[in-house]
Amino acid sequence: MGYLNSKKSYQSYCQMKTLLKWTVTEYHHLINTGILIDGHTELLHGEIVEISPESAIHTQIKE
């Protein structure tokens, strides 16, 4: 999330409007075709959101 390093850029990001709502089928298609490859996104209310990677502690707790 390098583009959110400053308070001003974060405020600008929060004010952005969603231009297109994605369906679950479309989101899965983006993953299956390799457009979304890093695994650090999720679909929330039709918006593709970047999420933080799991920490080592989180991984251990899940196991």
- Tens of pLDDT along the chain (63 residues) come to 444 455 555 556 566 666 789 999 999 999 999 998 877 889 999 999 888 777 777 666 766
C-alpha to C-alpha distances, 49 to 4, 19, 62, 63, nearest whole angstrom: 13, 14, 22, 25
Dist. CA 16–CA 47, nearest whole Å? 12
